[in-house]
Amino acid sequence: MSGHKTFTMLKPDAVEKGHIGAILNQITASGFKITAMKLTQMTTADAETFYAIHKERPFFGELVEYMTRGPIVAAVLEKENAVEDFRTLIGATNPEDAAEGTIRKKYAASIGENAVHGSDSDENAEIEAAFHFAGREMF
């Protein structure tokens, strides 16, 4: 059975462009409850750890630069079937392939600078939430 929790980041490009409010509004209007949230900035070590699975990929250096260049909004979200429903809401990794109305279609500039992160499994949702939040910051 699928879980009720996912983890998201509104990435530096989305914050720079002033899209925090609009994106959070779309997330909550889609039935997700925010159970943890903060504005924070990842260090290089943070980004290298968070995206360690991609460390051999050619885009890894650019990804780390991008994710550390300014603040992000980190949040934990709850809803039935959260991981899958949130990935549907954000759309494909490449905004050119993302469905109309999805967050990436509306706010992402490119496959690299794609506005928002969503966990890809229940297990990773737990790991990523714990990476960014202490237990007392999650409600």
CB of 111 to ligand UDP, least distance (A): 5
Binding flag, residue 112, ligand UDP (CB under 6 A)? yes
User: Exposure string (b/e) for 36-73, b if CB count within 10 Å is 16 or more?
Assistant: bbeeeebeeebbbebbeeeeeeeebeebbebbbeebbb
Beta bridge partners of 38: 74
Quote the least distance from Cβ 28 to ligand UDP, whole Å.
21
Minimum CB distance to ligand UDP, residue 134 (Å) = 24
Give the Å distances, CA to CA, from 13 to 7, 36, 37, 72.
Answer: 18, 21, 18, 9
Task: Provide the mask over 39-68, with x wherever binding to ligand UDP is found by CB under 6 A and - wherever it is not.
Answer: --------------------x---x-----
Known binding residue 59? Answer is yes
Contact positions vs ligand UDP (CB under 6 A): 59, 63, 93, 111-112, 114, 117, 120
